[in-house]
Amino acid sequence: MKKEKTVKKRDTWKNFSRSVVYLTKESPGIFPMAVLVAILSAVYPYIGIFLSAEILTELADPGRSLRHLFFLALLLVGLNFIGRLLLSSCAQVLDVMKYAVLKHIELAVAEKSWTMDYAISAAPEINETKGRITRWHYYRGVLALVEQLGTLLETLVTIGISLALVVEFFRAKAVGEGQMAALLNHRMISLLFLAVFALSVAYNIHAFSKIQNRYFQADEKAGTPMNQMLMMSDVSILQYQHGKDIRMFRAGGFLSRSMQSLSGSYAGILDDAFCYERKMSLFSTLLSRSFHLLVYLFVGLKAMYGAFGVGSILKYTGMVTQFGDAATRLFHIIREFRQNFEYIKVYFDYLDMPNLTAAGKLPVTSQIREDYEFEFKNVTFSYPGASLPSLCGISCRFRKGEKIAVVGRNGSGKTTFIKLLCRLCDPQEGEILLNGTDIRKFQYEEYLEFFSTVFQDYSIFAFELGENVASESDYDEKKAVQSLEDAGFGDRLKTLEQGLHTQINKNFSEDGVELSGGESQKVAIARCLYKDAPFVVLDEPTAALDPVAEADIYQRMNQFASGKGAIYISHRLSSCRFCDRILVFEEGRLAEQGTHEDLLAAEGLYRKLWDAQAKYYA
Ligand code: ADP
């Protein structure tokens, strides 16, 4: 237990120093600026308190000088103006710095999400973590440290100034011989005053920490409905393309009810915390106001009995308020500071998640790229949380120059098979070999470079057309145009005024172009051609194309893939008959393999699928 605590403490300090180093590296001026803002914020209220006290004292003095009064008033206004201007300018500069760091943090979360193991990136708890981190903004995690350290410093400075005034206040003695003066100067009265003050502050701290705890719990509970709500609004509001189905299937009502129910449970959680805060604050406000009454009485009496001038009433009552607030805030911020380490840990744990797929070290040499053979050896794979494997005991080989077709019914494991080949997932059993070496031993990025792919659910981004083809902003335009032409997009390209620089989708630009399903697929194929990798993987690359375009693309792809290895997944068996070999999948198993003629002759599953389709062709 003790050891566990020591490890936790060590990790906390490690994360703290890591956060400070990170923040300083991203924005070297952020801490100096936070210190400046903290000192200015602490000192600023005292300008008013001190100078107003001076003015009152001067006013109460029978020999007051108008010139001096005028000077004090001018000083008050001038210092207030300069102080406010300085404070708000520095606070704004600090905000800009924090905003820049916030964008770095969001970028780091995004970068991690596209470099982490692909299989893990789809897990719901990872999505939840990503959503939570990006919702923290300035208030939680690494960036919140700036605010918290600033507030800590501000409260310490305030307490320091107030303490000096407290000492001054108790040193000032009531004058006169009467009983009242003696009572006011009595040590017990001062101790009683301090005890009531400590009680009021202690209760405030207690109430605050309970409220803070309740908000912390509410925040934890509200995470899931909040995430779901954001995802739904992303789908229904930001991605206007979903509007088609929402309209056609009248899904608006359902969506709105779901969002209302989520926002209801979110509001319920928050409302619970608000109610609790109201209840707790009622007594603490009552207590502190009663204490303020006592303060005015005590300070006023001391002034009446000549301990100090009437102007100092303002100074000392102000001091008590400032001190009380600062003491409460100090405990509040220490607590928040400690709680925030939980958030910082979540952030760094997320960034530090080991990338198991990227552990390989072997280079994919040019020799391998020149001549290669893949072998699946008894490969079994299940998706996380699935009760049944999606692929079971798969064994097959294919080499450079071979064109392989993969066919089978929906859900038979075809896409999973190519995900394993491309190392988007790793098998739990068996191994996949490249020239006899387990593919997990190769350097991950280099291994990915081996494949040009068009996935079934390919993504076309809201970038320029050429950027989509090259996945870069700085690219070979001639090659991009050639790739688009080879993918059958040449005629459409000629109609685009801005050519390669045409913005895709209308998300960011009025001039954006909406592509049809078939056109998008051609762009995805062009991207595959542009990459020009040694091995080509096409998962239903022509599903959205018309028959003429499909025949054309297959011919072009055959030319492009000549001499390379290639795997085509297609439901149109007529497109697969020209492949060197056909793999037939059924319920996660490799049911048959051979040439078109062999498989027809075998009268098995392939024959059944073929006959079913041939009916329509006939
Ligand atoms: P096919 O490409 O032949 O249609 P898939 O390889 O996509 O089939 O899917 C094979 C099986 O794996 C199906 O039962 C499918 O439901 C399941 N599956 C696919 N992707 C996932 C995933 N990300 N998580 C869990 N199960 C999945």
Q: What is the pLDDT of residue 550?
A: 74
Q: Whose CA is nearest to atom 25 of ligand 1?
A: 383
What SS3 state is found at 306?
A: coil
CA distance 9 to 29: 28
231: confidence class by pLDDT, cuts 50, 70, 90? confident
Q: What is the pLDDT of residue 474?
A: 87
Mutate to test the pocket of ligand 1, among 387, 416, 420, 589 (most ligand atoms within 8 A of CB): 416
Digit-coded pLDDT (tens) for 109-149 = 989 988 888 878 878 788 888 888 887 878 889 999 999 99
Mutate to test the pocket of ligand 1, among 118, 120, 390, 590 (most ligand atoms within 8 A of CB): 390
Distances in Å between the Cα of 261 and the Cα atoms of 219, 255, 280 are 18, 10, 29
Of 107-111, 327-331, 532-536, the least confident: 327-331
Q: Whose CA is nearest to atom 15 of ligand 1?
A: 411
Under 8 Å between Cβ of 545 and 381: no
Q: In what order do the strands lie in the sheet with 535-539?
A: 451-454, 535-539, 565-569, 403-408, 581-586, 589-594
CB of 382 within 6 A of ligand 1: the answer is no
Given a cut of 80, whether residue 406 has pLDDT beyond it is yes
Distances in Å between the Cα of 176 and the Cα atoms of 168, 183, 304, 305, 601 are 19, 11, 11, 7, 122
What SS3 state is found at 433?
A: strand
Q: What is the pLDDT of residue 543?
A: 67
Q: What is the pLDDT of residue 616?
A: 63
Digit-coded pLDDT (tens) for 296-322 = 888 888 888 888 888 888 888 888 888
Q: Where are the beta strands (DSSP E) in 350-487?
A: 373-381, 391-399, 403-408, 429-434, 437-438, 451-454
Mutate to test the pocket of ligand 1, among 379, 383, 417, 426 (most ligand atoms within 8 A of CB): 383
Ligand 1 atom closest to residue 408's alpha carbon, by position in its atom list:
3
Which tokens belong to 113? 């999400």
Under 8 Å between Cβ of 58 and 311: yes
Give me the mean pLDDT over the 424-430 stretch.
93
Separation of 416 CA from ligand 1 center, angstroms?
6
What is the sign, positive or negative, of the torsion defined by CA atoms of 555, 559, 563, 567?
negative
The per-residue pLDDT of the chain, averaged, comes to 87
Burial of 345 (0-12, 13-18, 19+ CB in 10 A): middle
Instruction: Break the chain down into helix, strand, coil percent, rounded to 5.
Output: 65, 10, 20
CB of 236 within 6 A of ligand 1: the answer is no
Given a cut of 80, whether residue 490 has pLDDT beyond it is yes
Q: Whose CA is nearest to atom 19 of ligand 1?
A: 416
Dihedrals phi, psi of 173, to nearest 5 degrees: -100, 140
Give me the mean pLDDT over the 399-416 stretch.
92
Q: What is the pLDDT of residue 544?
A: 66
Separation of 191 CA from ligand 1 center, angstroms?
75
CB of 413 within 6 A of ligand 1: the answer is yes
Separation of 454 CA from ligand 1 center, angstroms?
17
One-letter amino acid at 576 equals C
100: confidence class by pLDDT, cuts 50, 70, 90? very high
Given a cut of 60, whether residue 618 has pLDDT beyond it is no
Under 8 Å between Cβ of 396 and 406: no
One-letter amino acid at 169 equals F
Which tokens belong to 258? 């779901």
Ligand 1 atom closest to residue 588's alpha carbon, by position in its atom list:
10
CB of 390 within 6 A of ligand 1: the answer is yes
Provide the H-helix boundaries in 136-186.
144-171, 179-185
Given a cut of 80, whether residue 223 has pLDDT beyond it is no
